[in-house]
Amino acid sequence: MRIVLGVAGGIAAYKAALLLRLLTESGHDVRVVPTESALQFVGAATWAALSGHPVHTTVWDDVAGVEHVRLGREADMVVVAPATADLLARAAAGRADDLLTATLLTATCPVVVAPAMHTEMWAHPATRANVATLRGRGVVVLDPAVGRLTGADSGPGRLPEPETIAAAVAAALHTGGRADLAGLNVVVSAGGTREPVDPVRYLGNRSSGVQGYALAATAAARGARVSLVSANVGLPDPAGVRVVVVGTALELADAVRAQADGADVIVMAAAVADFRPAAPAEAKIKKDDTTDGAPQLRLVRNPDILAGLVAARAAGELPAATTLVGFAAETGDDAGDAMAHARAKLASKGVDLLVANDVSGGAVFGQPDTVVHLLTPDGTVAGPHAGSKAEVAHAIWDRVAEIRSPLAGS
């Protein structure tokens, strides 16, 4: 794909170099169009070396090639990262006073904008109005991340990480720039719960949370308002996603139920422990002097969160139109293979979509790629969908969008 990477004049411009590397390594042909002020932070030589293309900033560069029109017309995607408050204002007003704004004005392809500025600038009514204007025109404007800004300041306004922006670019390319999940409230759970045995030990599982985070990030990039319930995950928060941190299955159940009110889609991607110790020790359990002195743990069953959501929907405690998505990480045994167990789980859970994968031998846990099948109650099995967990996340959201399409038309 031919991508124009616009870079505005903010301190976060250095991160755009990392984004450029991610885009080129993904096989895209990238032209960098910085503003004059952006070159105060990162020089033209850096952009030219990393992109393999000459770097221009004004409409007077390469006049014979009519770059100020040609770049926008020929691009498959325009990305601006960072986008300063000034750049947002000029783009919203339809200004064309440098090569970047002229490119934005002539582009007919999807446009993704990643703002970065101080919190006060981001919160100012003028900036909020400019963002609303751009979004109203179909531009994908990411919410900035929350964190350390220039100097000692901290708050909303930090440029999302390059990986997050790259995911938004992939989402826009996947959907043709359509925010097809716009207006939906989505809840995603991710990670693995840990059930305390004593203050230093726990019962847990091998879930890394990568798939759940990919689902949250891609949903946000496709326009949804996303709440992510995260259990013991060491990943950066996706930009524009509200993150609720939990530890145990009971905490996750409470958090998901609290977020479920008003949710259009709930995706239970977290690996939830089926059992927990009945009485966790208040002090660290010491080893005995005897050879057979291992402690005996009495376990109790944790609530089935997904089944509880299905029951709540049936009882009218959740809207009937809420789409419920479950995950089945299965292995084969004497009773059947992984897919047989997945079909049985679909029948018992009553969900609208079940994402099944075979985790025999520890496959997919912590890995960048995965393979899933998508099962629906009508007996349809779609797949296998194989690829990166971000690519698989898009396949899952595509199927959710298909399931919900009759609701959108009603």
Question: 265, 184 in Cβ contact below 8 A?
Answer: yes
Structure tokens given for 145: 């991340």
pLDDT for position 78 = 96
Q: What are the structural domains, with CATH classification, of the chain?
A: 2-175 (3.40.50.1950), 185-409 (3.40.50.10300)
Question: 180, 166 in Cβ contact below 8 A?
Answer: no
Question: 165, 112 in Cβ contact below 8 A?
Answer: yes
Closest by CA position to 246, among listed 269, 228, 219: 228
Q: How many helices (H) and strands (E) does the chain have?
A: 13, 19
Residues, the chain: 410
CA–CA gap between residue 385 and residue 67 (Å, rounded): 40
Span 289-335, pLDDT tens digits? 545 667 788 999 999 999 999 999 999 999 999 999 999 887 778 77
**Catalytic residue check, 130:** no
Orientation angle between helical segments 249-260 and 305-314, nearest 10 degrees: 30
Q: How many CB atoms lie within 10 A of CB 221?
A: 32
Residue the block writes with tokens 């005897």: 290
The one-letter code for the residue type at 113 is: V
CA–CA gap between residue 389 and residue 368 (Å, rounded): 6
pLDDT for position 16 = 97
Question: 21, 32 in Cβ contact below 8 A?
Answer: no
- Burial state string for 4-24 with b = 16 or more CB within 10 A and e = fewer than 16: bbbbbbbbbbebbbebbebbb
User: Greatest CA span in the chain, whole angstroms?
Assistant: 88
DSSP-assigned letters across all residues of 313-367: HHTTSS-TT-EEEEEEEE--BTTB-HHHHHHHHHHHH--SEEEEEE-GGGTTTT-
Question: 25, 52 in Cβ contact below 8 A?
Answer: no
Closest by CA position to 207, among listed 7, 402, 15, 389: 389
The one catalytic residue among 130, 205, 232, 302? 205
Q: How far, in Å, are 56, 95, 181, 269, 392 from residue 402 at the CA level?
A: 43, 39, 11, 19, 15
Low-confidence ranges of the chain (pLDDT < 70): 62-67, 288-293, 361-364, 366, 407-410
pLDDT for position 408 = 53
pLDDT for position 410 = 47
Question: 252, 177 in Cβ contact below 8 A?
Answer: no
